[in-house]
């Protein structure tokens, strides 16, 4: 089999994995909508935590920056998924802050401003690194840390699931969509020879296997 045939097939498989990851991720982005309908209807954030949205926004911003040509090559699908994610997470956080109570409102607003400030520092700081390889490694390392932090954030929901003795806050379809998205981007990272992506999603698979553990104690 000639190289001229192998490369298009390889690239097609990589793009297919990335597009699938975008589709499954979009499903995750819209999944909090029923929760926010409840928050708006009750005009209260109730027992919901805003921290997962903080982690998700920070992750989307850093990964979006990592996917740009200024940092890494051939990662357009990383930019698209995280650009969409940034819009959704920003909207969720604004709504959360609007309907949160006093101290929670102030703390969440401070965290949001902190995330935006930190991201600005990362962008400006990384652009000061003129060596492209060092810039790629630096931002890529931050991307791994950010992704792992976001992937660990559902552990907050596990505590809520155990406390309320209800899987309402972690439905099966959401876990399934997360698994499919993670698998797609794991393959995308492998096929794109991007260790920062596939190592991050290997960790995600690890956290996914941890999530169901509390459920047997509920029923």
Q: What pLDDT does residue 21 have?
A: 95
Q: What pLDDT does residue 35 have?
A: 87
Average pLDDT over residues 21-34: 91
pLDDT at 219 over 70: no
CA atoms within 13 A on the CB side of 93: 24
Q: What pLDDT does residue 2 have?
A: 37
CA-nearest of 77, 35, 76 to 52 is 35
What is the total count of domains within the chain? 1
Q: What is the pTM of this model?
A: 0.83
Residue 23's pLDDT band (boundaries 50, 70, 90)?
very high
Average pLDDT over residues 10-29: 92
CA-nearest of 109, 138, 111 to 122 is 138
Range of the domain at 130: 3-217
Q: What pLDDT does residue 215 have?
A: 35
Give 110-158 pLDDT, tens digit per residue: 999 999 999 999 999 999 999 999 999 999 999 998 888 777 655 555 5
Number of H helices, E strands in the chain: 9, 0
pLDDT at 62 over 90: yes
Give 176-188 pLDDT, tens digit per residue: 778 888 899 999 9
- In this structure, what is the dihedral angle of CA atoms 79, 81, 83, 84, given to the nearest 10 degrees? 160
Contact 60, 150 (CB under 8 A): no
Q: Which tokens hold the place of 149?
A: 């932090």
Q: Considering the chain, what is the average pLDDT of its residues?
A: 83
Give 93-110 pLDDT, tens digit per residue: 999 999 998 899 999 999
Residue 216's pLDDT band (boundaries 50, 70, 90)?
very low
Residue 81's pLDDT band (boundaries 50, 70, 90)?
very high
């Amino acid at each position: 089999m000639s190289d001229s045939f192998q490369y298009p097939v390889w690239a097609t498989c990589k793009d297919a994995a990335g597009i699938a990851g975008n589709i499954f991720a979009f499903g995750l982005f819209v999944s909090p909508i029923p929760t926010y309908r409840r928050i708006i209807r009750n005009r209260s954030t109730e027992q919901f935590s805003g921290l997962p949205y903080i982690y998700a926004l920070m992750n989307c911003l850093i990964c979006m920056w990592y996917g740009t040509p200024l940092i890494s090559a051939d990662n357009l699908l990383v930019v698209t998924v995280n650009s969409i994610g940034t819009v959704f997470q920003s909207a969720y956080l604004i709504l959360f802050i609007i309907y949160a109570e006093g101290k929670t409102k102030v703390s969440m607003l401070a965290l949001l401003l902190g995330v935006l400030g930190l991201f600005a520092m990362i962008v400006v700081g990384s652009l000061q690194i003129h060596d492209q390889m060092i810039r790629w490694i630096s931002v890529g390392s931050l991307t791994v840390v950010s992704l792992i932090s976001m992937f660990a954030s559902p552990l907050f929901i596990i505590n809520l699931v155990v406390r309320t003795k209800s899987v309402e806050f972690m439905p099966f379809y959401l876990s399934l969509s997360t698994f499919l998205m993670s698998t797609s981007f794991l393959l995308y990272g492998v096929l794109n020879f991007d260790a920062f992506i596939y190592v991050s999603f290997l960790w995600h698979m690890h956290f996914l296997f941890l999530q169901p553990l509390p459920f047997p104690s509920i029923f």
